[in-house]
Structure 1
Amino acid sequence: MCSLIAHVDNGKVVRVQGDPDHPYTAGFACGKVNRDADLVNSPERLKSPLKRTGPKGTGQFEPISWDDALDEIASRWKAIIKESGPLALLGYAYSAHQGLMNRGLVNGLFHALGSTRLQAGTVCDTCCETAWDMTVGPVGGADPESVVHSDLVIAWGADLAATNVHFWALVETQKKRRGLPLIVIDPRRTRSATAADLYLPIRIGTDAALALGVMHILVRDGLANRDYLASHTVGFDKVEREILPKFPPARVAEITGLPVADIEKLAAMYGKAKAALIRLGEGMTRLAAGGQALRSVALLPGVTGHYGVKGGGALLLTAASCDLNYAAVRKPSGPATSRLVNHLRLGEELLNMKDPPIRALYISANNPAVTCPEVYKVQKGLAREDLFTVVHDPFMTDTAKYADIVLPAASYLETDDLYRAYGAYWMQWGQQAATPQGEARSNFDVAQALAQRMGLTDRIFTLPPHEAAKELFKGATGPAAKADPDKLFAGEPIHIAHDWAGQPFATPSGKLEFHSEQLARQGLPPLPDWNEDPLEAAEAAKWPLRLLTAPGYFQAHTAFSGVDFLRTREGKPCCILHPTDAEARGLEDGAAVRLFNDRGEIALTLRVSDEVQPGVVLVPGQRPTREAVAGTINMLCSDRYTDMGEGATYQSTWLEVAAWPAARQVAA
């Protein structure tokens, strides 16, 4: 989350830049956000509410007024509630708008209505967050700005240059100033990896084995910090006795595909460092045993004691340390519990949920027809003629084409809101910079308008954004609660890091938990471990290539697809094969190729590159289906859950790649 300055001329955003006075954003933004003036002014923006006139999925609409649209929505919802109860409604809002008001109040609307609720984030971070919580506790990790004190940085499954550019800038600065060594562990040779002092191209899904192998070497070589282990951790004796003997370097090399010498070098560099900082990526957890992967890596700083040293430890996310009263916006009233729909199983539930079935769907700030696994199911569910669907979005997305009513949404630059970073310890009020394009209205505004039409009387549905934001601070704790309201709402960045006294642990034991009783009570392995997943092994025996998905540098997801410049910079939706795999299939760079497995087929443009290993097919970014030769990659991914957190398992996908027939290329 970046601190930005928007340059405005006659109510129009003409340029966006990083705030040069902000200690972390430091005057620059990534290549994507730098084009946000183009995004907000895109000619592809929706300008008015629309009502469907043709079959679902065809994108045939006619303009209607806001009053007519909101009246019809409320009327249809009231009729459905009368016939089937509020559980027949599902609100589906997620993260395309990161403001706490605009993201939170849509969920607050459906919470107050007593509807079926979205178990949000499972497509993204619930697995890694659950694993972190079971290990460290629901608390933020290391402050990225403490890297000035680090003597080693490990980017483990995190392409810093693509997704964490301000931390990457700090690392680069420290490398130049004092030779700070960088290790990158990633299945893809990323831009970050090319700058590393040691790059380890790990086999997908084997991160836990590597972490446990490093622990094995640390113990073998006397590099474990026994004092720290004794005073700040629980269960390491069991790991040392029952788990580590299974992971000597030779076996870890066999599992991970890494040379023994590189594994030994990694362990020696880490064990001898005084303040090593591990930046954890979420991608390693988007597979069957993702929770075990995150747990194993997050435990490493406990073996060396780096959690107790400034500049050391691990960072996954920081948001858990921003202790605001989120319920004031997200849960203003309504029953404490309700029926849940897992974010990644929208298609399954639209097709099969009963008693009552989902009869009305409201989607805001998300594009499930691209982002969810089992996209064929999602499309089939959205195509139901008896499903009343409303989509609130700045653009005509793949999902919006299935809607009965489409509402034009304001972007973050056209709204007032409060933001708290999730990769750094900062909070800031973001002032509306420009008048919304056309008739666009904010998520917050539309949630309030619908709440009033539905007869909800909660005070939060009557407050302007800055007054609603003040509700978050009633009952809040920690540094965020101490923010000066005058400075906050004037737009001053507020630093919300705790006074540093070592990594805090918010587990039941109050310590770093190598052995987790919470996991044991859930019937899950309480100790970190690595075992081959039997379903993955069966898929690997059937299909020769494993899928790797990663953010594109200019098209991380479809929220940026409205900027033609960024689409051009990223290039056509593609898959990337190692030259050995391409040659074996008779495929050439630039060709249209067919990706397929038991769930279906899609077609993308092929790039041939040794940035991936043999046996891997990389698909960068999530792109609208209209941009690809045919389809979108999540059509091939199952809606199977991760081992913990009920998250998505995109990387547990196996498939084959072949030529896309010329006749079908013409048809496409």
Structure 2
Amino acid sequence: MKSVRVVCAHDCPDMCSLIAHVDNGKVVRIQGDPDQPYTAGFACGKVNRDSDLVNSPERIATPLRRTGPKGSGQFEPITWDQALDEIADRWKSIIRESGPLAILGYAYSAHQGLMNRGLVNGLFHALGTSRLQAGTVCDTCCETAWDVTVGPVGGADPESVVHSDLVISWGADLAATNVHFWALAEAQRKKTGMPIVVIDPRRTRSARAADLYLPIRIGTDAALALGIMHILVRDGLANRDYIARHTLGFDKVEAEVLPRFTPARTAEVTGLSVADIEKLASMYGKAKAALIRLGEGMTRLTHGGQALRTVALLPGVSGHYGVKGGGAMLLTAASCDLNYAAVRKPSGPATARMVNHLRLGEELLNMKDPPIRALFVGANNPVVTCPEVHKVQKGLMREDLFTVVHDPFMTDTARYADIVLPAANYLETDDLYRAYGAYWMQWGQKAVEPAGEARSNFHVAQALAQRMGLTDRIFSLSPREAAEELFKGSTGPASNVDRNELFAGVPLNIKHDWDGQPFKTPSGKLEFYSEQLAQQGLPPMPDWEADPIEAEEAAKWPLRLLTAPGYFQAHTAFSGVGFLREREGKPFCILHPEDAAKRGLKDGDRVRLFNDRGEIGLMLKVADEVQPGVLLVPGQRPVGEAVSGTINMLCSDRYTDMGEGATYQSTWLEVAPWKEAAAA
């Protein structure tokens, strides 16, 4: 038995340092690394089962070639040389006939390693193909909103919570998605009595443990933030000195916006009581070091950018951005200033045609001059994750589309592929990691050799690059050598780490020694008034107003959709673990008892969810976890596990107000008893 220090590569802000226990070349147990202060010796309930994930009997063992109709899942084994040669031959033929723009590489975040995630994109950048505008299903809206408000810089260090006297978890279920920050916050509460406030439409585990829980109406976060600002100004709790020295445009917001957000109107918009709004504002205004942990979920709707931008401005009114343990934290990656282009953009044209991540289906069906004729999917599962899933499925059914999927498992997307390649798990790869919800960097070495004939994303990108005639040096380097390239021309604390310690696998802290939150906006200040937004034709000041298209949808359908991570099946990367599937249960939705009673539905029923875009079937749980008028669907689950379909079949591919992100939460629908005929 040996122990190997590894790094969790799942798409999670914590980037846990882990210990893999290996016996006879097999991972038998995973545990948190006790010598990493942030991971603190424990891992989440999902990652604790990653020995089952890497050893899953459901993993793809060899490369496969399609033998039946697209979507049928009928394949035959082939060799790696056969697979790679066929891919390269098809790509070369397509480039000769239609040019490189007819090819699209579609790789995202199922492997967070900077090598395994980055070099696949580097391959397609160097080939000059169409490029994926990645992250729009996830974080482009919130990042854009943060950048025009605070600037492209990381937020508060979550470990500074030891100096906080108030924590607000705003739209983030920390117990599910940021468990180590949650543990630190709970420890601080136990030590000092620091209160924890949770603002969320769902009564999450975090909400149940909070000192104050505010069940906000979906899409009204900006109104609540403005209501709190109104009270801070009214009660003399605004930090006028901080506002004068470090912010831009608050005077206009104070004069033109805040008067409209009285406690009474804020309560009317948000569904919260005036008493709770007043209580929260008082707690926040009187705190010396209040830390807001911002969740990305509040931005996955029509006015999501305005929502996050407005909440991110709150610490500028109170002055909490200027103190240790105060401010706001969304993401930290922007302050890890590595030379990512060395891996992601080794060569190729400076610009190329872009394909929005969330509109894959639309572009597969309608993009012209040239149409997309070849698709490579790695570390993602668009048949489940993209909105308008029916479009994605229809696009992938095109006989003239040559599709390659590189994945450890036969996903819903892989079933449509012409060639399926077995992918290595993170426990089987060497890579460099940096957290996006904390200030840590670590080299993770592979614990075991890849199962079967699996190969890493990095290895496959290099093999295809060589077959396609690319000569960039990065395509011949080892993962360690390629990682060294990231430090050439890099700046900031990440560039100054001890390279010997780093590549020995020691977790290294890369936090900035900030005297308060820095701002990297054009003005160098926190921008209540954004000229960048004004030039884009967007409201330059924070505000809240109802969206007319949302209002029209709400008039047609009685329930609003809320999607959130599942506790044991956050997304399909965990689908290969039978234990976790059983813990989560069959794909389900949650309805408030009042709404269930109106429809004659009871707990455990099979139900039909439907709107103009289609219908799916899920199991029903009846609980007051959500408010009346809301339907909650936790996690993203494979089509085959549900009664029928997957939830994103009912979501539109409409954009958010900023960042061209996905609007999952701007979905209205109805629920009724499931009938077999409904699926016909």
Same fold (TM > 0.5): yes
Once the two structures are TM-superposed, the CA of residue 662 in structure 1 deviates from its matched residue by: 4.9
5+ residue gaps in structure 1? none
Counterpart CA distance in 2 for 1:237 and 1:177 is 39
Correspondence for 2:81 among 67, 78, 82: 67
The alignment status of 1:304 with 2:297, answered yes or no, reads: no
Query: Cα 1:664–1:235, aligned 2, differ >3 Å: closer, same or farther?
Result: closer
Counterpart CA distance in 2 for 1:662 and 1:460 is 54
Map of 1:115-154 to 2, 5 A cutoff?
115-154=129-168
Counterpart CA distance in 1 for 2:272 and 2:524 is 35
Q: Which residue of 1 aligns with 2:548?
A: 534
Counterpart CA distance in 2 for 1:432 and 1:37 is 13
Q: Which residue of 2 aligns with 1:546?
A: 560
Correspondence for 2:673 among 653, 659, 665: 659
Counterpart CA distance in 1 for 2:447 and 2:90 is 35
Counterpart CA distance in 1 for 2:419 and 2:201 is 42
Aligned residue type for 2:213: Y
Aligned residue type for 2:279: K
Correspondence for 1:607 among 621, 624, 630: 621
Map of 1:176-575 to 2, 5 A cutoff?
176-575=190-589
2:533 partner SS: helix
2:257 partner SS: helix
2:168 partner SS: strand
Once the two structures are TM-superposed, the CA of residue 484 in structure 1 deviates from its matched residue by: 1.1
Aligned residue type for 1:574: F
Counterpart CA distance in 2 for 1:174 and 1:486 is 34
Once the two structures are TM-superposed, the CA of residue 178 in structure 1 deviates from its matched residue by: 1.4
Q: Which residue of 2 aligns with 1:100?
A: 114
Counterpart CA distance in 2 for 1:468 and 1:661 is 55
Q: Which residue of 1 aligns with 2:66?
A: 52
Once the two structures are TM-superposed, the CA of residue 218 in structure 1 deviates from its matched residue by: 0.3
* CA displacement, residues 106-146 of structure 1 (integer Å, 9 cap, x when unaligned): 00000000000000000000000000000000000000000
Once the two structures are TM-superposed, the CA of residue 664 in structure 1 deviates from its matched residue by: 5.8
Once the two structures are TM-superposed, the CA of residue 486 in structure 1 deviates from its matched residue by: 0.6
Correspondence for 1:158 among 159, 172, 182: 172
1:427 partner SS: strand
Correspondence for 1:620 among 623, 626, 634: 634
Aligned length: 666
Map of 1:579-590 to 2, 5 A cutoff?
579-590=593-604
Q: Which residue of 2 aligns with 1:25?
A: 39
Counterpart CA distance in 1 for 2:347 and 2:514 is 37
Once the two structures are TM-superposed, the CA of residue 548 in structure 1 deviates from its matched residue by: 0.1
Q: Which residue of 1 aligns with 2:182?
A: 168
Once the two structures are TM-superposed, the CA of residue 463 in structure 1 deviates from its matched residue by: 0.1
Counterpart CA distance in 1 for 2:154 and 2:25 is 38
Counterpart CA distance in 2 for 1:12 and 1:515 is 56
1:34 partner SS: helix
1:515 partner SS: coil
2:70 partner SS: coil
Once the two structures are TM-superposed, the CA of residue 663 in structure 1 deviates from its matched residue by: 5.5
Counterpart CA distance in 1 for 2:65 and 2:604 is 39
Once the two structures are TM-superposed, the CA of residue 356 in structure 1 deviates from its matched residue by: 0.1
Name the TM-score, length of structure 2 as normaliser: 0.98
Once the two structures are TM-superposed, the CA of residue 174 in structure 1 deviates from its matched residue by: 1.1
Correspondence for 1:12 among 26, 48, 54: 26
Counterpart CA distance in 2 for 1:377 and 1:74 is 27
Q: Which residue of 1 aligns with 2:99?
A: 85
5+ residue gaps in structure 2? 1-14
* CA displacement, residues 333-387 of structure 1 (integer Å, 9 cap, x when unaligned): 0000000000000000000000000000000000000000000000000010000
Counterpart CA distance in 1 for 2:267 and 2:516 is 33
* CA displacement, residues 208-250 of structure 1 (integer Å, 9 cap, x when unaligned): 0000000000000000000000000000001001110110000
Counterpart CA distance in 2 for 1:330 and 1:550 is 30
1:7 partner SS: strand
Aligned residue type for 1:154: I
Counterpart CA distance in 2 for 1:331 and 1:493 is 27
Counterpart CA distance in 2 for 1:662 and 1:562 is 28
Correspondence for 1:109 among 106, 120, 123: 123
Counterpart CA distance in 2 for 1:11 and 1:501 is 48
1:651 partner SS: coil
Counterpart CA distance in 2 for 1:44 and 1:176 is 43
4+ runs deviating over 2 angstroms: 662-665
Counterpart CA distance in 1 for 2:444 and 2:35 is 15
Once the two structures are TM-superposed, the CA of residue 307 in structure 1 deviates from its matched residue by: 0.2
Once the two structures are TM-superposed, the CA of residue 169 in structure 1 deviates from its matched residue by: 0.5
Counterpart CA distance in 1 for 2:450 and 2:209 is 41
Aligned residue type for 2:284: Y
Counterpart CA distance in 2 for 1:664 and 1:541 is 24
Counterpart CA distance in 1 for 2:393 and 2:342 is 34
* CA displacement, residues 446-484 of structure 1 (integer Å, 9 cap, x when unaligned): 000000000000000000000000000000000000011
Aligned residue type for 1:614: P
2:45 partner SS: coil
Once the two structures are TM-superposed, the CA of residue 500 in structure 1 deviates from its matched residue by: 2.3
Query: Identity of counterpart residues, as a percentage?
Result: 84
The alignment status of 1:644 with 2:658, answered yes or no, reads: yes
Counterpart CA distance in 1 for 2:633 and 2:185 is 27
Name the TM-score, length of structure 1 as normaliser: 0.99
Counterpart CA distance in 2 for 1:565 and 1:15 is 14
Counterpart CA distance in 2 for 1:194 and 1:292 is 28
Counterpart CA distance in 1 for 2:150 and 2:674 is 48
Counterpart CA distance in 2 for 1:524 and 1:335 is 31
1:537 partner SS: helix
